[in-house]
A and B are shown apart, each in its own frame.
Chain A
Amino acid sequence: MNDPRLEDRLAKLGREPTDDAPAQARKQGIKTRLFGDPAPPSRIGRFLDLGLLGRGAMGTVRRAYDERLAREVAIKLVSDASARHHHERLLREAQALAKLSHPNVVQIYEAGERGDEIFIAMELVDGLPLDAWQRQRHSWRECLHVYLQAGRGLAAAHEAGLVHRDFKPSNCIRDTRGRVRVLDFGLARALDLHEPLDEPSPSAAASTLASPPVIDGSSTSIGISTEPSTRVPTRASTRAGPTMLEVRITATHTVMGTLAYMSPEQLGGSRADARSDQFSFCVALYEALFGALPFGSNPRLALLAMLHADRPPVPSFPPSPRVPAAVRHALRRGLSADPAARWPAMDPLLRELEGALRPARWRSPLLLGVLAASTVFVTATMVNDQDPCADTSIGVEAQWSDQRRDEVREALLGTGLPYAADTWETVERELDAHAQALERELLSTCRAALRSSSGSASSFAQQLCLERRQIGLGHVVELLGAADPALVEHAVPLVTSLPSVEACVALDDPSPPPAGPGQDEPQQLVSVVLDRARALIAAARYDEGLAVASQAARDAEALGDPVLHAEARLVEGRALMGRGRPEAARIELEAASIAALRYDSDALVVAASAKLVEVVGISLAEHDQGLMHASLAVSLAERPSVPLRTRAVAHTAHGNLSTTRGELEPAQHHYERAIELLREEHGDDHVSLVEPLDGLATVLRQRGELERALEHRRRALDLLVGAYGHQHPTTAFTKANLAAIHRDRGQLQEARRLLEEAIAVMVRTLGVDHPSLAAPHSGLATVLDEQGEHAKAEAEHREAIRVWEQTLGHHHPVVATARFNLAASLGGRGEVEAAIEELELALRILRSHPSPTPQLALRSAEVLRELGRRHRQRDDLVTAEARYREGIAELQQAGVEHEETLAGLLKGLGRIVLERGDAPQAQRLHERALAIYEQAHGPTSLQAAHAHRHLAHALFAQAQWDRAREHVDAAIEIYEHLGNVDDDPIADARALQGRIASAR
């Protein structure tokens, strides 16, 4: 059956490109190894030439390296012949530009000469020119955000006395983080572009324009090319007629590109000034907003009309997209024919545009009420003359009053849960501490605000933050007061999720103080809503949390605040993950991460990425994607704006993923770092240390460092007990994990005690059927078996199987393993029939697996070996032999040759075959087994000794005395060398020695 779709997909797969950095590096590496090193690089000035970036009409742009400052730069090489005449001017312009340093202007570093060429070294920007960017549709807000930046660059240059003269979208670059920079200031003038000729020159100016140095190589080469004119121009007046310029302009398509943004006075031959730049800016912004030029696709006529006509043309604005009136007004004025009619400078124009971005009135009554209440009390304090700050604690007391305290206690203890009392203790302690800190800081902020009379920006921000904390406290208390058992289980995470008061105090708001207290009130309200969503999630109320966060996201979007919107999506993602919907969570978290990257919100990127590690890397098992998120989180985590807590989360997430991937070294490193950070932030006793401590214990255990693993897990358990008490399922789980380490160290009694406690708590709190119980039951069973208490062990085995079957189904490989263990237990008690039954079941399960792998084959072989042993115990040699052969065949089919299991099977089969009387076959089998054991365990191992012994028996049966003696002697030698060996094998060997001796 031909599925054309399949064929298409196959073909498409083959076309996947490999041009990312690691692939390129690999290719380069191989090429170098095949052909030797490439030629040494050339230089431009003091810079190392790294290759071509793009070709502009003015010359080429190359990528280069500045060794002195260890950075990459872009170098524009102006090599046009007639540029030579303008060397001086070009260099002077470059000097002037180099002095200008502004985030929205591409920084010029140096200018110089290389032979005939002039080079200009500038900032290398990785991004898109705006003409490419605005070819895709963007919202008017985004356009404004982008052009405001370009406008600020222009304004800064004007301030420094520079005029661009050739502003257009292709002369602006937007980098991958959203920052916009303007390029090529004044160069147009330096090369005498658009300028009237004020001195005669034999040839017309070479006037090819530069293209911006963009990495993606799509340099837009727009230019005005001229033929060298043989006309000798007349002495120009300040207002040379258009005819002269018209001659100098060739009517190519490329001309239109430049002309599109040109101001009428420039076209008319006047010297350009700041207001000409303004005109060009407005044309570009108009085009970005509406997708078309303001004066039509051929503006030459319109521009000329603007120069000469009585009623100059005005731009019309299409009804859609719906751009605010303020923006249209600003543009209309900026596009006036008469420069004097335009905005006096860029700044007033930009202010007008910024005004359009301010949010609309907030309409939600409920939240307004909440904030109004707190605003009211702030006002009230100002009225109190004696001590204006005396009443700051009122709000906090209202949230955590004695009455509320009682309510919460009643609610928690009233559930009757075994851990309710412990939980209440922790809740009370945490809330008390939180409330106290809040009161203290509100007081101190109030005092500081009074001292600096105008009210500094940072104290205002702090006050807002503290008020938010206060409201947040109220949320949590409210939730606790209405607690049901489900909430009590998560009450401790709920109270520890309260954001810290200290973080408010550390707030250092760099932006200028808002015009009034209500300026960003809507954003504050949305933040309050988000706090509530976070609290709900901490309390495991995921559906509610999701609903609240979604509303917040919509509100943030309406407000046009992308960072707040991203924060809300992060919260949505966490809620979705809590609800067990990793795919949906992924979408929100990735969106949040991307937006955060765009708007430089490092802490948010780290938080989103860390969560994505869990969602994508662990839950969805896409390890490589997860690693990408982990690496991003961890590398950005070191930035100063990221709080310590968040950094720790990033490292912990990376640790979890590395452990899942079996990369123990990095896992250990990350957990240790997380612990370090959390210790710094919270001290040694904070419950947040539990996760990384526990993770570290897992890693150490896998690396065999049991002592240290024990230490860390014990510490984690102590912290949990401190926060949750002994009766909480979370504590129980960690106890079970701790038991595992004790068992590894052979401390069986301790392991048993812990497991019994853990199981008891889990049964009481989660119910007997909870899936988490299976593994502890199984663990306890193995411990009991090792202690020889097989009856009790059987009960535990059966319970584990029951729970696993219930949750995973009857055919999961884990169930097979559990039954295998049960069989061992039964066999140990002499219940051979029952053991065989379990083994048969296990075998059926393994064989029913849809895709057989060598691992499963190995398991089946183990089961078959055990079956052989058991049947032999029952003296059913025929079945035993059959099972052994089956096991051997199974392994051979899977292509396994050197496994110990195989050796065991061979040995078992050999013994049976010998009893049947087929000594030669037995000999062959034992020889193979011996070979495997020698390789796996060494020639002087116990297993090798046993194999020698059995082989000796087989040889003896064939009357090969000498060889038999060789092997039995070898066996005895090893037994004696090892010491500590059971009596039976030694006795058997000696007896055989005796028989050999007497036979000869």
Chain B
Amino acid sequence: MDDAALLWAWREGNRAAGEELFERHYATVERFFRNKVAEPDDLIQQTFVACVEAKTRFRGDSKFRTFLLGIAINVLRTHYHRIQRQRGMSPLHDTSLADLGQTPSRILSDRDEERLLLEALRRLPLQLQLLLELRYWDELKHEELAELLELPRSTINTRLRRGRELLEQQLRELAASPQLLRSTITRLDDWVEQQRRRSPLAHHDREPSA
């Protein structure tokens, strides 16, 4: 059964169809939220729930996956607007994740390169981050990108290029000073504590030697 048919069936109350659809597309949604929020569970769930609600119209002419990602983007926006209101911050699309203080639930890869890349992505303005990810991870076409992100189709190429440029810039900066990956020390008092912890007293450094 194709995705559209499964969706109709699910909306009609067919649980097995919903499960099948879930299995097919879970990975895409999880990957979308994985490096954007600390606790993706609720948002992943909301995305699927929104799918099945009558309000969201799926005309069946575009790919289901694109439709699903569109929902995910909306869920993400709503989530961030909520945070914005709590923190009183400026419009969403210019803010980057690094500012919002959202740290991903786990580091995807323990290799420095990939970690850097993820962090660099998070420092881009959200719109550009989304653009790059949807293009390279989900391989959406320019039309689909334009539709999902509500941008003029003709500007997609330019924006992608801009995104890549910014990304490279961030990578260079991050590579130059890995401490930037973690917050800088601001409380003077803690400076002393920090120093102590970096160079623990030698005589405690014991190991088994029978």
Contact = CB atoms under 8 A, between A and B. Distances in A.
B118 A13 contact: yes
A801 to B, nearest CB: 12
Contact of B88 (A624, A659, A896): A896
Nearest to A583: B112
B147 interface: no
Interface in A501-540: 503-504, 507, 527, 530-531, 534, 537-538, 540
Contacts of A507: 210
A737 B193 contact: yes
Nearest to A503: B210
B158 to A, nearest CB: 13
B90 A895 contact: yes
B161 to A, nearest CB: 8
A772 to B, nearest CB: 6
B198 A618 contact: yes
Interface in A645-687: 645-646, 649, 652, 656, 659-660, 687
Contacts of B108: 13, 16
Nearest to B29: A30
Given A11-B137, A31-B19, A814-B188, A504 B210 contact: yes
20 contacts: A11-B137, A14-B133, A16-B31, A29-B41, A30-B45, A31-B19, A34-B45, A530-B209, A537-B205, A604-B208, A624-B106, A779-B188, A779-B192, A817-B186, A851-B180, A853-B99, A855-B184, A895-B90, A895-B99, A897-B87
A70 interface: no
Interface stretch (A366-374, A432-440, A690-698): A690-698
Interface in A570-591: 570-571, 574, 578
A15 B109 CA distance: 11
Contact of A688 (B89, B167, B204): B204
A649 B45 contact: no
Nearest to B40: A26
B57 interface: no
Interface size class of B (residues with CB under 8 A): 35 or more
**Range of interface residues on A (Cβ < 8 Å):** 35 or more
Contacts of B30: 18, 23, 26-27
A824 to B, nearest CB: 12
**Closest CB pairs A-B (n = 7):** A14-B137, A493-B203, A897-B88, A895-B89, A10-B136, A603-B208, A607-B207
A778 interface: yes
A465 B210 contact: yes
A814 B19 contact: no
A650 B164 CA distance: 43
Contacts of A531: 209
A14 B138 contact: yes
A2 B164 contact: yes
B178 A621 contact: yes
A690 B200 CA distance: 10
A996 B198 CA distance: 62
Interface of B: 15, 18-19, 22, 26-27, 30-31, 34, 40-41, 44-45, 48-49, 87-90, 95, 98-99, 106-110, 113-114, 117-118, 123, 132-133, 136-138, 161, 164-165, 167-168, 173, 178-186, 188-189, 191-193, 195-198, 200-210
Contacts of A736: 192
Nearest to A772: B195
A503 to B, nearest CB: 5
A817 B191 CA distance: 12
Given A13-B114, A740-B192, A534 B209 contact: yes
A39 to B, nearest CB: 12
Contacts of A567: 209
A618 B199 CA distance: 10
Identify whether the interface residues of B are mostly helix, strand, loop, or mixed.
Answer: helix
Contacts of A232: none
Contacts of B136: 7, 10-11, 13-14
Interface string A1-33: 111001101110111101000110011011101
B88 A649 contact: no
Nearest to B133: A14
A562 to B, nearest CB: 16
Nearest to A856: B184
A2 B160 CA distance: 10
A89 to B, nearest CB: 43
A652 B40 CA distance: 32
A733 interface: yes
A775 B164 contact: no
A534 B178 contact: no
Contacts of B198: 618-619
A6 B170 CA distance: 13
Contacts of A645: 206
Given A34-B22, A656-B200, A694-B196, A13 B117 contact: yes
A694 B195 CA distance: 13
Given A504-B210, A898-B88, A850 B173 contact: yes
Contacts of B193: 698, 737
Nearest to B136: A10
Given A3-B164, A499-B209, A503-B210, A659 B197 contact: yes
A568 to B, nearest CB: 11
Contacts of B165: 1
Contacts of B27: 18
A859 interface: yes
B196 A688 contact: no
Most chain A CB atoms below 10 A, which of B48, B88, B200: B200
B163 to A, nearest CB: 10
Contacts of B179: 621
Given A623-B182, A687-B203, A821-B188, 19 more contacts: A13-B108, A13-B109, A27-B30, A34-B45, A35-B19, A36-B15, A492-B203, A607-B207, A611-B207, A618-B197, A625-B110, A646-B206, A646-B207, A659-B197, A695-B197, A736-B192, A813-B185, A851-B180, A853-B99
Contacts of A540: 202
Nearest to B32: A14
A624 B203 contact: no
A245 to B, nearest CB: 47
A10 B201 contact: no
Interface in A793-807: none
A642 B207 CA distance: 10
A6 B99 CA distance: 24
Nearest to B187: A817
Contact of A778 (B110, B188, B201): B188
B173 A851 contact: yes
B207 A574 contact: yes
Given A35-B15, A775-B188, A607 B173 contact: no
A656 B49 contact: no
A132 B205 CA distance: 40
A126 B66 CA distance: 40
Contacts of B206: 497, 645-646, 649, 688
A614 interface: yes
A859 B186 contact: yes
A26 B49 CA distance: 16
Interface string A733-755: 10011001000000000000000
Nearest to B137: A14
Nearest to B30: A18
A776 interface: yes
B4 to A, nearest CB: 19
A774 B188 CA distance: 10
In this complex, the member of B95, B167, B209 whose beta carbon has the largest number of chain A beta carbons within 10 angstroms is: B209
Contacts of A730: 201
Given A11-B136, A604-B208, A497 B200 contact: no
Contacts of B207: 534, 570-571, 574, 604, 607, 611, 646, 649
A690 B186 contact: no
Contacts of B90: 895
Contacts of A296: none
Contacts of A27: 26, 30
Contacts of A690: 201, 204
B22 A688 contact: no
